[in-house]
A and B are shown apart, each in its own frame.
Chain A
Amino acid sequence: MKLVTMAVTAALALGLTGAQAEPVKVGLITTLSGGGAGLGIDVRDGFMLAVKQAGNEDLEVVIEDDQRKPDIAVQLADKMVQSEKVDVLTGIIWSNLAMAVVPSVTAQGKFYLSPNAGPSALAGKGCHPNYFNVAWQNDNLHEAAGAYANFAGHKKSFILAPNYPAGKDALTGYKRFYEGGLAGEIYTKLGQTDYAAELAQIRASDADSVFFFLPGGMGISFLKQYKDSGIDLPVVGPAFSFDQGILQAVGDAALGVKNTSQWNKDLDNPTNKAFVESFQAEYGRLPSLYASQGFDTANLLLSAMAKADVNDADAFREALEAGEFASTRGNFKFGPNHHPIQDIYVREVVKEGDVYTNKIIGTALSSHADAYWADCNM
């Protein structure tokens, strides 16, 4: 299979950055083809937008497509470490791929900055000094959904998620904060597209609300079928099934649904406003939360490059830990296990003109850290 390699060197050297002599080579492995491509493309576009805006000639990015397959991701990571000699890896969307790649590249002394996947195994006992998650620990948005369900007065939730690491983190996270009882708990197949059987179980149960985590195309299918089934229970979920990339394909079925996210396009800070505007100007579409995560990851990296030489691993790590960059989320801070401590908001799906999008209606959890940091010794 022919892999597309793209080396991008920024064109404009404006001399504004505190030019470091040592160039940094970044390997961005993400999903650019197949079912989950929308997510990877958003991360890549957000990342490259920040790189372009910085105009730092010392940053070189190599982009490869993992096709959402763990074995290919591992091959690409090996190639990047051994023959491309990259200093930093990033880009992986899916937790099962991250579990296959991250422990091995950090063990080889490379830095890994996760723009998305945050499996619990890498946040607690499996944490590593060279592993940073710029997005969230997997459980976080689900914990916020659980907190919101309490606030909304849900007493009997029916919960479902796909049977893979992030799916288990999702239901665990929801249950950690949700105080009511469960009407049912289902693990679906990863990549499942037909939810008739699950919907029949929801209908037959005495649930008063539904929580689901089904990222990408799975969420589109579920929501369309949910609407068509005539079940009329309130739905709560993490932002992954309501992001900008898929809302247009879901249509009216998503209107009014509450979902939780660490980011939204209407967050009121100058970095975010500039990001949303420049992303639209560059790519002709609204950014999703994945794009914001890619953008923040690149800016974190650039902030560390301005302070330290990547060959001095300890200094570079310290510069990353400081997390001193202008985040689209406003203030940004790492916890002791290199995962963010951040506010998580509740959003509602609305229609602006012809475009389906989200607006923030409240804060679910403030300065929220993950549940695993105490297990992390590094």
Chain B
Amino acid sequence: MSLILLIEQVLNGLQFGIMLFLMAAGLTLIFGVMGLINLAHGSLYMIGAFCAAAVAGATGSFLLALIASLAGAAIAGALVELVVIRRLYDKDHLDQVLATFALILIFSEGTRWVFGSFPLFLDVPDFLSGPITLPGGIEYPLYRLTLIVVGLLVALGLYLLISRTRLGVQIRAGENDREMIAALGIDIAKLYTIVFALGAALAGLAGALVGAIQSVQVGMGEPVLILAFVVIVIGGIGSIKGALIGAILVGLTDTLGGIFLPEVMKLFFDPSTATSIGSSLASMAIYVLMAAVLILRPSGLFGARA
């Protein structure tokens, strides 16, 4: 295994992790501020991708498609919060899980009803397609590099929003003591709607960005949702910083595990058995990581709540 291949795989892991972060950031924000388990977060990811594919198909512009994904998912998120989620804050987690699971089914069948059962076409724009050569002779797809940069910019933006703005102060206060900020005269209902729409918009953006190199189809959100839950458990529920670190850890573990475990197994078994055992172990790697983190730090790496 050459150094170039290793660096390329680290970049792949980083890119995967940063896309997971966009999903996990919204999920952890919603859980942290509102105490709500939102299983329908994957559906918002799917809505973002479908909005982007529809707009890109109609206008041919990738930037318009991204704006549509942000707007579409944010509007869907705000509507869902106003109509359904609002009634769930006082209920226990089981009710929330049931209601948001129902939302997954409604969104999936609704999307199928509007767009049909066959995958949609969404492609990388011409100005971002193809590989570029990085210093050291590494050929890497420009689009994936762009994803890393966009993801890091969003992470920076979120950090500034939470630590430097009035809205951020309210969000942090809401995480700590929601009765107190309500008593201070802050419209908590409006704050919840904004936070939910923000989380939804991030998921929608992730869906559109990833949809361009994957398949835009009904049910695309659920596998990512599971990984996003792993990320927020590792990072500590409610912590944006934890979500970022957790996402990158999960991305790197998943990518590098998939490469190296079969190689390691080849030292002990014949190649085809090694490939098979190595791949099976690799799919467990992130859950092993999660278990290890939970043993050492039961509330996650940056979790405040016990």
Nearest CB of chain A from residue B133's CB, rounded to whole Å: 10
Given known pairs A37-B112, A187-B275, A193-B214, the reply for A200 and B223 (CB within 8 Å) is: no
Given known pairs A196-B15, A220-B119, A228-B130, the reply for A33 and B218 (CB within 8 Å) is: yes
Which stretch from A7-15, A145-153, A245-253, A329-337 is at the chain B interface? A245-253
How far is B122's CA from A221's CA once the two chains are assembled, in angstroms?
Answer: 11
Given known pairs A196-B12, A200-B5, A225-B213, the reply for A37 and B218 (CB within 8 Å) is: yes
Is B276 within 8 A of A163, CB to CB?
Answer: yes
Number of A-B residue pairs having CB atoms within 8 Å of each other in the complex: 134
Nearest CB of chain B from residue A43's CB, rounded to whole Å: 12
Chain A contacts for B275, CB-based, 8 A: 185-187
Q: Is B4 an interface residue (CB 8 A)?
A: yes
Is A246 within 8 A of B119, CB to CB?
Answer: yes
Is A194 within 8 A of B279, CB to CB?
Answer: no
Q: Is B298 an interface residue (CB 8 A)?
A: no
Nearest CB of chain B from residue A282's CB, rounded to whole Å: 15
Pick the contact of A203: B139, B210, B255, B276 (CB < 8 A): B139
Is B124 within 8 A of A220, CB to CB?
Answer: no
Pick the contact of A187: B108, B141, B259, B279 (CB < 8 A): B279
Proximity string of chain A (218-229) to chain B, C-beta cutoff 8 Å, 1 when within and 0 when not: 101100110111
Q: Is B175 an interface residue (CB 8 A)?
A: no
Is A221 within 8 A of B213, CB to CB?
Answer: yes
Is A200 within 8 A of B121, CB to CB?
Answer: no
Is A35 within 8 A of B218, CB to CB?
Answer: yes
How far is B255's CA from A197's CA once the two chains are assembled, in angstroms?
Answer: 6
Chain B contacts for A124, CB-based, 8 A: none
Is B121 within 8 A of A249, CB to CB?
Answer: yes
Is B2 within 8 A of A204, CB to CB?
Answer: yes
Give the size category of B's interface with A: 35 or more
Chain B contacts for A186, CB-based, 8 A: 262, 275, 279
Is B5 within 8 A of A33, CB to CB?
Answer: no
How far is B108's CA from A186's CA once the two chains are assembled, in angstroms?
Answer: 32
How far is B259's CA from A187's CA once the two chains are assembled, in angstroms?
Answer: 11
List residues of A (108-153) whose CB comes within 8 Å of B's CBs: none
Chain A contacts for B1, CB-based, 8 A: 204
List residues of A (177-200) whose CB comes within 8 Å of B's CBs: 185-189, 191, 193-194, 196-197, 200
Is A34 within 8 A of B108, CB to CB?
Answer: yes
How far is B219's CA from A317's CA once the two chains are assembled, in angstroms?
Answer: 39
Pick the contact of A189: B123, B210, B220, B283 (CB < 8 A): B283
Given known pairs A1-B105, A35-B217, the reply for A230 and B139 (CB within 8 Å) is: yes
Given known pairs A185-B275, A200-B8, A201-B259, the reply for A193 and B16 (CB within 8 Å) is: no
Interface core residue of B16, B108, B217 (most chain A CB under 10 Å):
B217
How far is B279's CA from A203's CA once the two chains are assembled, in angstroms?
Answer: 20
Is A35 within 8 A of B219, CB to CB?
Answer: yes
Task: Tell me the nearest residue of chain B to A68, going by C-beta.
Answer: B219
Given known pairs A185-B272, A189-B283, A249-B120, the reply for A230 and B223 (CB within 8 Å) is: no
How far is B118's CA from A216's CA once the two chains are assembled, in angstroms?
Answer: 10
Task: Tell me the nearest residue of chain B to A204, going by C-beta.
Answer: B5
Q: Is B300 an interface residue (CB 8 A)?
A: no
Chain A contacts for B129, CB-based, 8 A: 227-228
List residues of B (200-239) whose CB comes within 8 Å of A's CBs: 210, 212-220, 223
Chain B contacts for A191, CB-based, 8 A: 223
Is B112 within 8 A of A249, CB to CB?
Answer: no
Chain A contacts for B12, CB-based, 8 A: 194, 196-197, 200
Chain A contacts for B262, CB-based, 8 A: 186
Is B214 within 8 A of A221, CB to CB?
Answer: yes
Nearest CB of chain A from residue B103's CB, rounded to whole Å: 14
Q: Is B170 an interface residue (CB 8 A)?
A: no
Q: Is A300 an interface residue (CB 8 A)?
A: no
Q: Is B61 an interface residue (CB 8 A)?
A: no
Nearest CB of chain B from residue A52's CB, rounded to whole Å: 20
Q: Is A234 an interface residue (CB 8 A)?
A: no
Pick the contact of B123: A197, A217, A229, A251 (CB < 8 A): A251
Q: Is B60 an interface residue (CB 8 A)?
A: no
Is B214 within 8 A of A197, CB to CB?
Answer: no
Q: Is B131 an interface residue (CB 8 A)?
A: yes
Task: Tell me the nearest residue of chain A to B8, going by C-beta.
Answer: A200
Given known pairs A34-B108, A201-B259, A248-B121, the reply for A189 and B9 (CB within 8 Å) is: no
Is B119 within 8 A of A33, CB to CB?
Answer: no
Q: Is B21 an interface residue (CB 8 A)?
A: no
The chain B residues found within 8 Å of chain A, CB to CB, are 1-2, 4-5, 8-9, 12-13, 15-16, 105, 108-109, 112, 117-121, 123-124, 129-131, 139, 141, 143-144, 210, 212-220, 223, 255, 258-259, 262, 271-272, 275-276, 279-280, 282-283
The chain A residues found within 8 Å of chain B, CB to CB, are 1, 32-35, 37-38, 41, 163, 168, 185-189, 191, 193-194, 196-197, 200-201, 203-204, 216-218, 220-221, 224-225, 227-230, 245-246, 248-251
5 contacts between A and B (CB under 8 A): A193-B214, A204-B1, A221-B213, A228-B144, A251-B123
Interface pairs A-B: 9 shortest CB-CB: A230-B131, A217-B215, A220-B215, A196-B12, A249-B119, A221-B214, A187-B279, A34-B219, A204-B5
